[in-house]
């Protein structure tokens, strides 16, 4: 059986704990317990002799109750009447079931309670006893407070109503860096939040509890899934921030028996879009909405406002729109950088391509830095300054900004960047983008090149060996301001081509998967909060706003820029190659662009070769489209 809450009705003597507790237990159809029945014999004897208990006496009693509370929860819940006048007692009571105890404080004035006690006892009630109860009573920011100056049925109705109202509006599963930051973001927007983190002995212990107690906004923390779900309002909205892959399926499996039709799960991790398509179908069939939401912005973005890309059903989005749009970054007009992206896996696909673009933008900046540093001889400070100048020329981007900052960071009198090992990690989204583009049959030159550059960087030992074997020497033939001007243009050119490639994949996916994506809106969602926010992105919003179906490279404003800057790009690439400086993204952009703008490509030779060795046939440009030919090429 899944765990259920234990309700602790507390307050001073005479506040009606037993009466209210019993009535509540009948209403909820769960057992009632009186804390006084759990005292050890020594305490019972002491009390029988008219002696007051001290905190030392109470210790075994509270421990015993705490163990019982844990068991009652496992057995289906219960109601406990217990004075619990001090915070320290309450903390002990709930220590075995943190988050699973619902605190109900019975509040009444001194006079009311005194009068009740004297009439109930039908004899004189020692005033000193009640005085000391009121003196000992400590306030508690948790739980609900019920006034006892009303009839019992009203009290029970009020308890039920207040318990319902104090349920959280949203739950977050997984308190890693992103989960914690998003939960804090929600709390700062005044949402009531429950958080859950699994318990893994020795590794993940009391994570949710610590988060809840350390956070000034006081979310509810759980390591028991069913108590966590029980703490949420209906329809339940649960944001998963767990590692992409198997973990998402495991959490969904655990959640499913606890959810009802109309509830909503949001997967905010970097899940593969095909997993999201599968999960969305599986859950929609059960009447539960599943929103695959890409979330970009890292820890800071998650805390202060990320860019969010939710996909799923439109009705499902309505369930969680309020939360996602409130915590998202705001664009220049104040609108949330979050909007319904499209059906099933589209949100995660869009996030995946966001990361693909991110990979290539990072590589682009990295290779320009590398060239300036090691082939032209600039210092990190100087390169930082160059990047900052570009930023002022409407070429600003978050990635350029952070790189300019990275380059200034020193350890003692040495640049920290020089101590960072040149082996890039990757969690997979760049590679997934490449595979997805291949499946769609659409080019991904810059992005796949960036993935490959990371893969090659990982072969550090082999590279070190090869550098000794080949001992390639480079000669710097460049040292003029003109080159820096060209480099700025080449950088922007490469960035434009990279974005065009990214949006083309989105276009192809939108058509193949029937997602009906709005590219201007996707770009708008990417203008703030995310890692690839930039001046260029703002421009792209406007361009696609005019025509959604046009390739980015075909908008006249872009045509003008690229026409002007092509020579600069080609000069930079050729001069760099002459210096034997590798430029994966700038070279890929150049080749992509030159092929893209060629009416005649080299593919006629490919087709002839295929037909030559494999009789794969070819089409002719002097015959009707669709007709296939085979030639015996050997026969001249």
Pair 540, 523: CB distance under 8 Å: yes
CB of 453 to ligand 6PG, least distance (A): 12
579-598: which residues touch ligand 6PG (CB under 6 A)? none
What x-and-dash track marks residues 392-431 binding ligand 6PG by CB under 6 A? Answer: ---------------------------------xxx-xx-
Whether residue 358 lies in the annotated active site: yes
Measured from the CB atom, the residue of 346 and 429 that comes closer to ligand 6PG is 429
Question: H or E stretch including 172?
Answer: strand 170-173
424-453: which residues touch ligand 6PG (CB under 6 A)? 425-427, 429-430
Give the gyration radius of the chain's Cα atoms: 33
Length reported for the chain = 636
Q: Which residue has the tokens 């619990």?
A: 84
CB of 269 to ligand 6PG, least distance (A): 9
Measured from the CB atom, the residue of 179 and 297 that comes closer to ligand 6PG is 297
- Catalytic site residue from 94, 102, 358, 449: 358
Measured from the CB atom, the residue of 275 and 358 that comes closer to ligand 6PG is 358
Residue 310 CB partners (closer than 8 Å, separation 6+): 266, 291, 292, 293, 294, 317, 320, 324, 338, 339, 340, 341, 347
Selected range binding ligand 6PG among 292-300, 313-321, 534-542, 589-597, rule: CB under 6 A? 292-300
Measured from the CB atom, the residue of 358 and 565 that comes closer to ligand 6PG is 358
The secondary structure of 362-374 as a DSSP string is: HHHHHHHHHHHHH
Work out whether 358 is an interface residue with ligand 6PG (CB under 6 A).
yes
Per-residue exposure over 281-292, b if at least 16 CB sit within 10 Å of its own CB, e if not:
eebbeeebbbbb
Measured from the CB atom, the residue of 168 and 363 that comes closer to ligand 6PG is 363
76-115: which residues touch ligand 6PG (CB under 6 A)? none
Measured from the CB atom, the residue of 298 and 582 that comes closer to ligand 6PG is 298
What x-and-dash track marks residues 599-628 binding ligand 6PG by CB under 6 A? Answer: ------------------------------
CB of 411 to ligand 6PG, least distance (A): 24
What does residue 426 show for φ and ψ, rounded to 5 degrees? -160, 140
Q: Is 287 left (phi over 0), alpha (psi -120 to 50) or beta?
A: left
Work out whether 19 is an interface residue with ligand 6PG (CB under 6 A).
no
242-281: which residues touch ligand 6PG (CB under 6 A)? 270
- Binding-site size for ligand 6PG (CB under 6 A) equals 13
Beta bridge partners of 168: 232
293-352: which residues touch ligand 6PG (CB under 6 A)? 296-298
Instruction: Report the residue from 276, 355, 448, 510 that binds ligand 6PG according to the rule CB under 6 A.
Output: 355
Q: Is the dihedral of CA 387, 391, 393, 397 positive or negative?
A: positive
Question: How far apart (Å, rounded) are the C-alpha atoms in residues 201 and 460?
Answer: 37
- Work out whether strand 410-411 and strand 170-173 pair parallel, antiparallel, or are unpaired: unpaired
CB of 430 to ligand 6PG, least distance (A): 6
Question: How far apart (Å, rounded) are the C-alpha atoms in residues 367 and 585?
Answer: 8
Instruction: Report the residue from 531, 568, 583, 588 that binds ligand 6PG according to the rule CB under 6 A.
Output: 531
CB of 351 to ligand 6PG, least distance (A): 7
Measured from the CB atom, the residue of 164 and 427 that comes closer to ligand 6PG is 427
- Catalytic site residue from 92, 180, 220, 351: 351
Residue 573 CB partners (closer than 8 Å, separation 6+): 490, 583, 586, 587, 590
Work out whether 530 is an interface residue with ligand 6PG (CB under 6 A).
yes
Pair 91, 8: CB distance under 8 Å: no
Q: Which residue has the tokens 């002995």?
A: 201
Q: Which two tokens stand for residue 563?
A: 């026409």
Whether residue 485 lies in the annotated active site: no
Question: How far apart (Å, rounded) are the C-alpha atoms in residues 417 and 108?
Answer: 65
Pair 592, 609: CB distance under 8 Å: no
Residue 36 CB partners (closer than 8 Å, separation 6+): none
CB of 56 to ligand 6PG, least distance (A): 53
Measured from the CB atom, the residue of 358 and 396 that comes closer to ligand 6PG is 358
CB of 417 to ligand 6PG, least distance (A): 17
Pair 450, 587: CB distance under 8 Å: no
Query: In the complex, which residue's CB is closest to ligand 6PG?
Result: 296
Task: Just list the catalytic residues.
Answer: 351, 358
Q: Which residues bind ligand 6PG (CB under 6 A)?
A: 270, 296-298, 355, 358, 425-427, 429-430, 530-531
């Amino acid at each position: 059986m899944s765990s259920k809450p234990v309700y602790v009705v507390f307050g001073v003597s005479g506040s009606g704990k037993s009466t209210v507790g019993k009535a509540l237990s009948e209403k909820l159809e769960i057992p009632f317990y009186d804390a006084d029945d759990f005292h050890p014999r020594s305490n019972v004897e002491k009390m029988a002799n008219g002696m007051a208990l001290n905190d030392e006496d109470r210790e075994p009693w509270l421990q015993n109750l705490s163990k019982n509370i844990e068991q009652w929860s496992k057995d289906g819940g219960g109601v406990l009447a217990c004075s619990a006048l001090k915070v320290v007692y309450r903390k002990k009571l709930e220590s075995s079931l943190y988050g699973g105890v619902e605190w109900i404080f019975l509040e009444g004035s001194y006079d009311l309670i005194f009068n009740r006690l004297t009439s109930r006892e039908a004899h004189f009630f020692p005033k000193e006893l009640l005085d000391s109860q009121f003196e000992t009573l400590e306030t508690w920011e948790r739980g609900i407070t019920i006034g006892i100056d009303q009839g019992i049925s009203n009290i029970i109705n009020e308890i039920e109503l207040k318990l319902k109202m104090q349920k959280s509006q949203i739950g977050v599963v997984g308190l890693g860096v992103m989960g914690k930051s998003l939960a804090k973001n929600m709390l700062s927007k005044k949402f009531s939040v429950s958080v859950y983190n699994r318990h893994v002995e020795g590794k993940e212990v009391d994570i949710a509890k610590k988060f809840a107690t350390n956070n000034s906004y006081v979310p509810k923390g759980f390591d028991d899934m069913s108590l966590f779900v029980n703490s949420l309002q209906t329809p339940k909205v649960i944001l998963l921030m767990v590692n992409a892959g198997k973990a998402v399926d495991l959490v969904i499996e655990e959640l499913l028996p606890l959810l009802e039709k109309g509830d909503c799960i949001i997967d905010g991790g970097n899940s593969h879009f095909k997993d999201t398509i599968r999960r969305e179908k599986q859950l929609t069939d059960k009447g539960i909405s599943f929103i695959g939401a890409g979330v970009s912005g890292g820890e800071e973005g998650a805390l202060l406002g990320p860019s969010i890309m939710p996909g799923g059903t439109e009705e499902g989005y309505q369930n969680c729109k309020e939360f996602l749009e409130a915590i998202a970054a705001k664009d220049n007009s104040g609108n949330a950088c979050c909007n319904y992206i499209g059906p099933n896996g589209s949100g995660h696909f869009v996030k995946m391509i966001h990361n693909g673009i991110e990979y290539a933008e990072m590589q682009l900046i990295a290779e320009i830095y590398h060239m300036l540093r090691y082939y032209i001889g600039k210092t990190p400070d100087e390169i930082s300054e160059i990047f900052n100048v570009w930023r002022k020329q409407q070429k600003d981007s978050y990635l350029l900004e952070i790189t300019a900052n990275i380059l200034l960071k020193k350890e003692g009198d040495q640049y920290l960047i020089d101590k960072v090992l040149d082996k890039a990690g990757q969690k997979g989204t760049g590679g997934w983008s490449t595979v997805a583009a291949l499946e769609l049959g659409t080019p991904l030159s810059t992005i796949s090149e960036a993935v490959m550059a990371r893969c090659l960087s990982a072969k550090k030992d082999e590279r070190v060996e090869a550098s000794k074997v080949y001992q390639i020497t480079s000669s710097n033939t460049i040292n003029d301001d003109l080159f820096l001007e060209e480099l700025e243009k080449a950088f922007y050119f490469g960035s434009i081509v990279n974005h065009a490639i990214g949006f083309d994949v989105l276009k192809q996916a939108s058509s193949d998967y029937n997602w009906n994506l709005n590219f201007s809106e996707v770009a708008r969602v990417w203008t703030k909060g995310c890692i690839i926010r930039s001046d260029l992105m703002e421009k792209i919003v406007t361009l696609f706003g005019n025509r959604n179906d046009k390739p980015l490279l075909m908008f006249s404003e872009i045509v003008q820029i690229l026409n002007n800057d092509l020579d600069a790009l080609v000069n930079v690439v050729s001069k760099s190659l002459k210096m034997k400086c590798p430029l994966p993204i700038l070279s890929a952009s150049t080749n992509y662009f030159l092929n893209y703008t060629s009416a005649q490509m080299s593919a006629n030779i490919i087709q002839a070769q295929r037909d030559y060795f494999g009789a794969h046939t070819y089409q002719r440009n002097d015959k009707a489209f669709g007709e296939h030919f085979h030639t015996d090429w050997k026969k001249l």
